[in-house]
Amino acid sequence: MKISQNGLDLIKKFEGLKLDAYQDSVGVWTIGYGSTYWPDGRRVKKGDKLSGDAEAEQLLRDAVKTYEAGVNRAVKVHMTQNQFDALVSFAFNLGVGALEKSTLVKKLNKIDLIPVANEFSRWTKAGGKELEGLRRRRSAERDLFLK
């Protein structure tokens, strides 16, 4: 599967757009809509800049390919487009490794959707701190997943 515009919009909503590189809540250099790497594999670094919205959009579309592949690899059961989109957003924010190891995916692969959806709310910390923005994001991901 591939992410839909709804999924991209969810990522954009919570990541926000910054054309100049910045350090995220745990100090990782980030640019655009939350990208930490350039398409050629280089890490984003201090001083990096995007030329505008179109370049940021393309960078996001390039970046989500890794997370689409991770979700497709980790989930062994049929998903709706909304479920897939929510999981790609989750993986984009936390990483494919976290998704693959999560109880969320283990439960999903057992086709137990409500307990799976409730697992989103367990991932609301960055750097050991509970963040309101992550709580809101996980809630929106859960709602999209169950929609």
Contact 123, 137 (CB under 8 A): no
Domain coordinates of the chain in residue numbers?
5-146
**Up-side HSE of residue 46: CA atoms within 13 Å toward CB?**
2
**What pLDDT, on the 0 to 100 scale, is given for residue 134?**
96
**What pLDDT, on the 0 to 100 scale, is given for residue 92?**
96
**Up-side HSE of residue 67: CA atoms within 13 Å toward CB?**
28
**What pLDDT, on the 0 to 100 scale, is given for residue 90?**
96
**What pLDDT, on the 0 to 100 scale, is given for residue 146?**
87
Name which CATH class applies to 5-146.
Answer: mainly alpha
**What pLDDT, on the 0 to 100 scale, is given for residue 147?**
86
- Region at 69 (left for phi over 0; alpha for psi -120 to 50; beta for the rest): alpha
Output the DSSP codes for 42-67.
PBP-TT-B--SHHHHHHHHHHHHHHH
The candidate with the shortest Cα–Cα distance to 93, out of 53, 120, 75, 118, is 120
**What pLDDT, on the 0 to 100 scale, is given for residue 111?**
80
Per-residue pLDDT of the chain (147 residues; tens, 9 = 90+): 999 999 999 999 999 999 999 999 999 999 999 999 999 999 999 999 999 999 999 999 999 999 999 999 999 998 999 999 999 999 999 999 999 999 999 999 988 788 888 899 999 999 999 999 999 999 999 999 988
The pTM assigned to this predicted structure is: 0.80
15 is a catalytic site residue: yes
Cα torsion 32, 135, 3, 64 to 10°: value is 40
Q: Residue-wise over 84-104: b if at least 16 C-beta within 10 A, else e?
A: bbbbbbbbbbbebeebeebeb
